[in-house]
Amino acid sequence: MNAPLAEQQRPVHVQLASLELRVAENAAEIEAAQALRYRIFYEELNARPTPEMSALRRDFDSFDPYCDHLVIIDRDKGEGAAGIIATYRLMRREQASRRGQFYSIDEFDIAPLVNYRGGILELGRSCVDPAYRTKAAMQLMWKGIADYILHYKIGVLFGCASFPGTDPAEHRMALSYLYHRHLAPVEYRPRALPERYVSMDMVPIGEINEKRAFMSLPPLIKGYLRLGGFVGDGAVIDPQFGTVDVSVIVVHDLIADKYTKHYHDHSAGKTDASSPAA
């Protein structure tokens, strides 16, 4: 990495009681975030690690060196790497250029997002230690993302969000609800790659209990929707992680500052029923 962010202007730094949120500042902290990802994705959720991951007990890939790793540290648990209890991986346009591509390009045609003339940010590898899956901890993470996008003048956030299992039919009501009610405007709309495309339009809107369908969505997807976010066209099956993935998008200009204003102007310790953490 470059010089530690502690020696520069930190793009994100929030403290709430014993919890500290910032970007990982050294290799040890990144490896601790990867170890947390391994425990959640491969031990808790039964994804399939590579032999190298199994040997090191860390989730890692070729994108990690180019990304910022947002972490929450419980300083009562330990300082720095020893206290990491949550992480979210962030990749801006210039970082993706150095890597050669964004991560989600292997699942979705994201040309409409790449063609956006402002700052864009891909989010991924989100996980929280089971002992810390509270509304306050999740709001702290979203507050950090809000500060990050303000610092770097990000106009569009995007990434993949997942349903458990590899059978899209098990989620046909939820996927159809997303397709009918939350499809992104065409100028921002990613589309699943043709060879991986799974239609989300499985059930007519008139046959869907929309309240029930919304409540059945994974928390991360509900969070994006509560911010005024959208989904792309088509789902993708990810055999390594054992999930059905959809593309999620938040366009800053279309949410009237709801996201950044709420999290920038209010204490991260406050709770709100409209929070994406709910």
Predicted confidence at residue 77, as pLDDT, reads 95
Q: Are 22 and 86 in contact (CB under 8 A)?
A: no
Q: What CATH topology corresponds to 5-265? A: Aminopeptidase (3.40.630)
Which run of H or of E encompasses 176? Answer: helix 172-182
Closest CA to 98 of 50, 141, 63: 63
Q: pLDDT tens, 168-225?
A: 999 999 999 999 999 999 999 999 999 999 999 999 999 999 999 999 999 889 988 9
Give the per-residue pLDDT at 262.
54
Query: Cα separations (Å) of 51 from 47, 48, 55, 59?
Result: 13, 9, 6, 11
- Given a cut of 50, the residues of the chain with pLDDT beneath it are 1-5, 7, 256, 266-278
Rg, C-alpha atoms of the chain? 18
CB 277 within 8 A of CB 138: yes
What's the rounded Cα separation, in Å, for the pair 137 and 140? 5
pLDDT at residue 155, rounded to an integer: 94
pLDDT at residue 273, as a whole number: 25
**What phi and psi values does residue 109 have, to the nearest 5 degrees?**
-80, 105
